[in-house]
Amino acid sequence: MPVERWSMSTPLILAEELTRHFGDFIAVDHLQVAVHPGEVFGLLGANGAGKTTAIRMLCGMLPPTTGRIQVAGVDMVRHARRARGQIGYVAQRFSLYGDLTVLENLQLQAGLYGLAGVRKRDRLEEVLRLLNLSDRRKVMAGALPLGYRQRLGLAAALLHEPRVLFLDEPTSGVDPLARQRFWELIYHLADGGIGILVTTHYMDEALFCDRLALMQAGRIVAEGTPEELLRRPLPTPILELDSPDTVVFDQLAHDWPEVREIIPHAGQLRIRLKAGVDEATLRSKIQAVAVERSLTVTALRPAAPELEDVFVAVLEESER
């Protein structure tokens, strides 16, 4: 999808010291975000972390208490209407009309964007083809599977060829195959030069982003590429235990004072130690218990950190 050329060094989305209060409650706390053309930037956090409030401010739907927002070079606070013309937005919940067909929904949205005549007809056909909705144009939107409803929402957001795309939990509740296909569409759009900001609480999905910001209590507590975040040293080691007796080990290890958390994972146990516990000490304890109770240890090794491990460690550090 062609978009107007934009310097790769100039952010399409820029937020500086972005803050939002609701009474005494601080929902977003001095947020700093920069998203460049062709980049997929992810805001990752649990429900209530402030992601949706942040994206609503960035889209101009909610005024900030303090801070500055620019979208495609336009000041969102001072010139919200002009800035919103550069934006496509897909909400977490389906926001189009279930009692209209796919095509009727898109025709209505095209009219709201001011599209008419040949351009309207061409854009309708382009987004129907791009989102694989051509054969469903006469289907009632409310009868579509959830994954196709999200595609329809994305099609509507792309009608006016925005430079910037905001996706708020776009695959929440969608089955894994539909999620994968939706992300293939996101990559395709980014390759065309659109700047994309996506919020998610799925750890595996966050790995698809070019850069990530981890949010907690309205603040960004860590930022970087997925690879950079995975290289962060963890304050507590994690052991990975392979055994046909994982159920027994799980029950036993819950009472061990050295263990902070036990995570069943793909037929294994990931055992997270408490701070200050020597990894060799716990390894020896596991081996001794295995001998004592005639349990089998197939493998016992340091676990490579996963994004969820990094996220938990960062949150605990920020809380301290």
Which tens digits make up the pLDDT trace of 115-139?
A: 999 999 999 999 999 999 999 999 9
Predicted pLDDT at 2: 42
- Phi-psi region for residue 287, left (φ > 0), alpha (ψ -120 to 50) or beta? alpha
Q: Are strands 164-168 and 211-216 parallel, antiparallel or unpaired?
A: unpaired
Q: Average of pLDDT values for 52-69?
A: 93
Predicted pLDDT at 278: 87
Determine whether 222 is exposed, middle or buried from the number of CB atoms within 10 Å of its CB (0-12, 13-18, 19+). Answer: buried
Q: Average of pLDDT values for 176-191?
A: 89
Predicted pLDDT at 229: 93
Local confidence band at 8 (pLDDT 50, 70, 90 cut-offs)? low
User: Does the pLDDT at position 46 exceed 70?
Assistant: yes
Q: What percent of the chain has pLDDT over 90?
A: 68
> Which domains can be identified in the chain, with CATH numbers?
13-230 (3.40.50.300), 238-304 (3.30.70)
The residues, any chain, with a CB within 8 Å of residue 41's CB and separated by 6 or more, are: 13, 33, 35, 195, 196, 197, 198, 209, 210, 211, 212, 213
Q: In this structure, what DSSP letter does residue 10 have?
A: S
Per residue in 70-126, pLDDT (tens digit) is: 999 999 989 988 998 899 999 888 888 999 999 999 999 999 999 999 999 999 999
Q: Residue 265 and residue 248: Cα distance in Å, rounded?
A: 15
**DSSP-derived 3-state class of residue 298:** coil
User: Does the pLDDT at position 320 exceed 70?
Assistant: no
Local confidence band at 1 (pLDDT 50, 70, 90 cut-offs)? very low
Predicted pLDDT at 63: 93
Residue of 140 and 275 predicted with greater confidence: 140
Predicted pLDDT at 32: 95
What average pLDDT is seen over the chain? 90
Kindly state the tokens that stand for 14: 């820029």
Per residue in 215-247, pLDDT (tens digit) is: 999 999 999 999 999 998 888 889 999 999 999
What pTM was estimated for this model as a whole? 0.85
Per the listing, tokens 């919940």 go with 93
